[in-house]
Amino acid sequence: MSGSTRVKRVSIEGNIAVGKSTFARLLQSSCSDWEVVAEPVSKWQNVENNASKSTDSPPQTTVSNLLQMMYQDPQRWSYTFQTYSCMSRLRTQLQLPSAHLLGSEAAPVQVYERSIYSDRSSPQKCMERLRRRGRHEENEVKLDYLDKLHVKHERWLVEKSTEIHFDKLKKVPVLLLDAGVEFQSDPEVQEQFITKVKNFLDAL
């Protein structure tokens, strides 16, 4: 078995501001053979404008901060953002694991922020954390939007009622963690989470 095929790949999934980045940092600090691949937010905030310079075509809207544009005008930019963010995640996941992971003698794990771990928390708690982190693109996010996303995640990861068109994806194991607790500042809860993750990974 080659180094790249024995590296386990898992993803952290959950609502906006549920605590994915915080949990990812916790995982990386817990084991030298766990490597986190962060969500490429900076790419969404600074999109290069590749519009055609042809004089025959009408001027195009300059796309710079696509994340902000999506929140400000979701009807116009949601599809564009979802397509771009999906492709940027795909490019990230197609990259080879680091030399450190490939050379590990233990059980190396690559953790992706999104893409199936599940951080689970109430929309109200997510809204609190969203306001606390102060990402200016998210100023227009309403609780109703987080409620809808919460329902989608519950149907997908908990109820398993979302229609999935690939048989292998239907059998992907999921670990549910209660991210409603303030695990960032509670070492005891952190230890409990890490133990659950280790047991989950050992069973894969």
Half-sphere exposure of 69 (CA within 13 A, CB side): 18
As annotated, the binding site includes 14-22, 39, 71, 82, 114, 119, 129-133, 138
Closest C-alpha among 200, 204, 203, 193 to residue 24: 193
Rounded CA separation 73/77 (Å): 6
Rounded CA separation 8/109 (Å): 5
Per-residue pLDDT of the chain in tens (204 residues, 90 and over written 9): 444 557 888 888 888 888 888 898 899 899 888 888 888 888 899 887 544 444 455 555 677 899 999 999 989 999 999 899 889 888 888 888 888 888 888 778 888 876 545 567 889 999 999 999 999 899 989 999 999 999 998 888 888 888 887 777 777 888 888 888 888 889 999 999 999 999 999 888
Q: Cα angle vertex 171, ends 169, 173, to 5°?
A: 105
Q: Which residues are catalytic?
A: 113
Type of residue numbered 12: I
Map out the domains of the chain as residue ranges: 3-202
- Helix and strand tally (H, E) in the chain? 10, 5
Rounded CA separation 18/46 (Å): 24
Phi, psi of 175 (to 5 degrees): -110, 120
> Which SS3 state, helix, strand or coil, does residue 8 take?
strand
CATH superfamily of domain region 3-202: P-loop containing nucleotide triphosphate hydrolases (3.40.50.300)
Sequence length of the chain is 204
As annotated, the binding site for ATP includes 14-22, 129-133
